[in-house]
Amino acid sequence: MARSKKTRKGGENGPKFAPRVKKADRKAVDGKKSETGRKSGSRHNEALLKQASGNGSSVKKDARHGSKKPVALTLPTSITEPLVVKPKQPKLSDEQKLLKLEEDPRLNQLLDQLEEGRDLSDTDQKWLDTQLDKIEQLMQRLGLTDGDETTVESPKKQLSDDELLSRFESGADLLKDYQKHD
C-alpha cells in the first residue's frame, strides 16, 4: 500500500474557525477602563478635600495620615553612651597554653572514658584528637617530648658483595622476609 501524507486540513470533522474580519470592521478596543474611585493623591491634597465638602470645619481628617510629630533628620552632636572597649588580654605563653589544655575537664573526661574501654562518638573522637595534637605540638616547642619517640635508626652494617651473594644464594632469609611482609 502506498504511503499517504497527512494533510493539515481538518476536513468535515475539523475545528471550525470564525471567518476573518477586516481590520476596519473590527471593534475598537478600549485602552483604558472607565475611572472608578477617588483620584490618585486625593488624600494628600487637603485643599481639594475642603473644596469638595464646601465647609472646611466639617471635613474629617484622613486617618491614614500618620503622626504629625516632627522627626530630626540629623545625628545628635554628642553621643550619650560611651563606647565600651574590651581590654586586650595578654597572649598566653606556650607553658600557659599547655597547662590550660591539660586542665580541660572535657579532655580529662574523654581520656577517662577511653581508659575504661568505652567507645567515643565521632565528634568527641575528632575533638580529642585535635586537642592531643595541640598538646603534642606545644610539648615539642617546649622541648618536653620524650627522647624515645624520636630515636634515629642506626644504619645497618654494610655487607660486602661476597656476603650478599652468599646470603642470596642460600635463600635462608628469603622465606623469613616473605613471611614478615604478609
Q: Which pLDDT value is given to residue 123?
A: 92
Q: Which pLDDT value is given to residue 129?
A: 92
Query: Does 104 fall in a domain?
Result: yes
Domain range for 106 is 94-142
Whether 140 contacts 97, CB under 8 Å = no
Query: Does 77 fall in a domain?
Result: no
Q: What are phi and psi of 173, to 5 degrees?
A: -85, -10
Tell me which residue of 66, 34, 69, 40 sits closest to 48, measured CA to CA.
40
Query: Does 51 fall in a domain?
Result: no
Query: What's the CA gap between 180 and 101, in Å, rounded?
Result: 41
Return the higher-pLDDT residue of 150 and 156.
156
The CA angle 44-50-55, to the nearest 5 degrees, is: 155
**pLDDT, tens digit, for every residue of 26-61?**
776 656 666 777 667 666 677 776 776 665 455 566
Which residue type, as a one-letter code, is found at position 25?
D
Query: Does 120 fall in a domain?
Result: yes
Query: Does 66 fall in a domain?
Result: no
Is this structure's pTM higher than 0.75?
A: no
**pLDDT, tens digit, for every residue of 95-134?**
888 888 888 999 999 989 988 888 888 999 999 999 999 9
Which residue type, as a one-letter code, is found at position 136?
E
Average pLDDT over the chain, rounded to an integer: 76
Which residue type, as a one-letter code, is found at position 130?
T
Query: Does 27 fall in a domain?
Result: no
Query: Does 169 fall in a domain?
Result: no
Q: Is the pLDDT of residue 150 over 60?
A: no
Q: Which pLDDT value is given to residue 151?
A: 47
Indicate the number of domains in the chain: 1
Task: Count Cβ atoms below 10 Å from residue 101 Cβ, excluding itself.
Answer: 14
**Cβ-based neighbours of 64, under 8 Å, separated by 6 or more:** 43
The owner of cell 465638602 is: 53
